Amino acid sequence: MENKIVVHMKDGSVHKGVTQDFQPGSGSFHVLPAEGGGVPRRVSVEAMKALFYVKDYVGNRDFVARQQFDEAHRSGRKAILTFLDGETMWGMLGEGGDADPGFYFFPLDEQDNNIRIFVVRSSLQEMRLVP
């Protein structure tokens, strides 16, 4: 199954496209460019900051995600992530064991363009669990 993705690399570069072969435990995967056609790009998971599964490639630069947990978010492990580049995200932790290179994260705000995010552990400065 193809997934519409945006890959943010630790070096600041961004790749938009689709993937059919991403596996959380694998060392690399391929991104077929979003513009149509083109040569698939092999991406190293360790060189990646995070892989964003998105609704669309455009997004909304003016969107400000909600940063407050409320009663509707009772189940699941709540967390606030701070990346090495200073970006902060609020949401719920998904799958991913401590031995895995990363884990899935689900944004708190349903209006967010991101459906789910695979976060590479080594790109984090801090992961704060919220009771």
Report the b/e string of 51-72 with b at 16+ CB within 10 A: bbbbeeeeeeeeeeeeeebeee
CB count in 10 Å sphere of residue 76: 11
Position 15 scores a pLDDT of 93
For the chain, what is the domain count? Answer: 1
The residue ranking higher by pLDDT, 73 or 90, is 90
**Which tokens is 63 given?**
């969107």
What's the rounded mean pLDDT across residues 17-31?
Answer: 90
The domain of 61 spans: 3-130
pLDDT in tens, 25-64: 889 999 998 776 788 999 999 999 999 999 887 766 665 6
Sheet order of strands, 124-130 included = 41-44, 28-33, 14-19, 3-9, 48-54, 114-120, 102-107, 88-93, 77-83, 124-130
Mean pLDDT of the chain: 85
pTM, whole model, 2 decimals?
0.86
